[in-house]
Amino acid sequence: MDQTEQPEPERLGFRSQGSWSAADLSLLTASVDGIYNALLTTHVERRLENDLSRTLDMLMSRYEKYLDHPFYFEMLHSWRDLLRLWRKTRGKIPLPLPMFPFQATPFDLGTAVPDSKTIYTNLAQYSGESERLRIHRIRMASPGLISFEGLGDIVREFRELIKDMWYRNRQEKQRGDQESQLRELEIVEKYLGIGRQFREMDIPFPTILVTEKYLSDETLKNINNLRKLEQARKLKEIPKNLDVAK
């Protein structure tokens, strides 16, 4: 995002109650920030992938124009197949492209877009300050208010993710722990936009899955931290307080 842009922020609030320690407040802010950052990571990934896709389309047009010769036909055909596969997996397959006479260095798609773990742990490098979550207001009391503000699209995704998780938790309380955890992982993956593309392909991607699993595991951990604060009666019912803005 252009650093000069100032998108309209949207607020996300939590009603506090009871007695809070410094550790409680730290746990809340770190967990909310972690969930928001995971969602922001997916936005950054898509932006980088779209930028690279446009560059590749431009290069492809150039190659088709200047390499219109039977000698290069199979090479161009193979590259088109590689690009389709790269786009289908959202830029996660490390595929070195074929070399052409006027191409100075190999274009390695595997290094062109960082993996989600790299982006998540280095968000300051890949996003602007206006994109990241900020504290809007803290009023410690019983009841009190702790509110944040961030990008509207991501705040709205945050609300929907949390509401889905709490609703699913109520609906499936009678199910076994393992099945419930799998369902929660599916919900998180849906909002992070990961997992499904790999299940559709009969190809193993161990390294990729490790980095994607890191993002979903971190998100689930932070969601469970919010649950702990709610269960300890530090926060009022969370889904009913996510729209608090004042």
Residue in 30, 211, 29 with CA at minimum distance from that of residue 119? 211
Q: Which two tokens stand for residue 245?
A: 């803005």
How does pLDDT run across 77-126, given as a tens digit for each residue?
A: 666 677 666 666 655 555 555 555 545 444 555 556 778 888 999 999 99
Among 112, 94, 134, 165, which residue's Cα sits nearest to residue 7?
A: 134
Q: Which residue has the higher pLDDT, 8 or 63?
A: 8
Using the 8-state DSSP alphabet, how is residue 104 labeled? S
How many whole angstroms from its chain centre is CA 141? 33
User: What are the CA-CA distances from residue 149 to residues 35, 155, 191, 194, 232 (Å)?
Assistant: 13, 8, 19, 25, 25
Q: What is the mean pLDDT of residues 184-205?
A: 66
Chain center to CA of 195 = 12
What is the pTM (predicted TM-score) of this model?
A: 0.77
pLDDT of residue 95: 53
- Enumerate the β-bridge partners of residue 96: 108
Q: In Å, how far from its chain's centre is CA 16?
A: 27
What are the domain boundaries of the chain?
Answer: 9-239
- Assess whether the previous peptide bond of 143 is cis (omega < 30° from 0): yes
Helix (H, G, I), strand (E, B) or coil at 189: helix
Nearest to 229 by CA among 19, 50, 11: 19
Q: What are 118-172's pLDDT values in tens digits?
A: 899 999 999 999 999 999 999 988 889 999 999 999 999 999 999 999 887 666 6
Would you state the pLDDT for residue 159?
94
